[in-house]
Amino acid sequence: MEQYKKEFIEFMVDCQVLKFGDFVTKSGRNTPFFVNTGFYRTGAQLRKLGGYYAEAIQQKFGTDFDVLFGPAYKGIPLSVAATIAISEKYGADIRYCSNRKEIKDHGDKGILLGSPINDGDRVVIIEDVTTAGTSIEETMPIIKAQGEVEALGLVVSVDRMERGKGEKSALAEIEEKYGLKTTAIVTMAEVVEHLYNREYKGKIIIDDKLKAAIDSYYEKYGVK
């Protein structure tokens, strides 16, 4: 596993973004782990987060695209942080764009924040985590409504590696339905590999009991 992935896993734990316990996902599944990017709350954290996203984006898509689109609301700071990091790390000046939940009819009118999306633009979408592909269903029509736009792919922080609405993973379903490439900074398999029965800051994050709960979850919702 690449070093930046290990660092990112520990970074999520430090920021309390990656939590273990008893949670319910947006899609209604009871899960023993949860990723909440709302816990990235400081400038230093966002700067580091943007760097991890930038590395994952560069590895999968390079920097030859025009717009990084972050769906409202959590995608807004993600798109800003990642485009700043792409500029700093790779010298590429990518535009950021997000949507509003409500269309504004005065001042800076319309549904978009940041850069407009123009005919011919190549767009990568940035999100926190995708469980069942619900958010992307709302996002794609917004992007496509802007003109002759090429949606290249989707990057998330964590691939939960579970089924979407059918038997395939949510990311695989998105690839198939929308023709997008997808990638993640880390997968849950990498998270478990790095943290299971390994002491981090004096504590075992994933012990045998939690590992059994995660395994049970994947028996129910994992990709067969």
The set of catalytic residues is 104, 106
Residue 98 CB partners (closer than 8 Å, separation 6+): 69, 70, 71, 72, 75, 76, 79, 112, 113, 114
Q: Is the peptide bond before 73 cis (omega within 30 degrees of 0)?
A: yes
Measured from the Cβ of residue 34, the count of other Cβ atoms closer than 10 Å reads: 16
CB distance 90 to 61 below 8 Å: no
CB distance 59 to 182 below 8 Å: no
CB distance 182 to 153 below 8 Å: yes
SS3 assignment, position 186: strand
SS3 assignment, position 172: helix
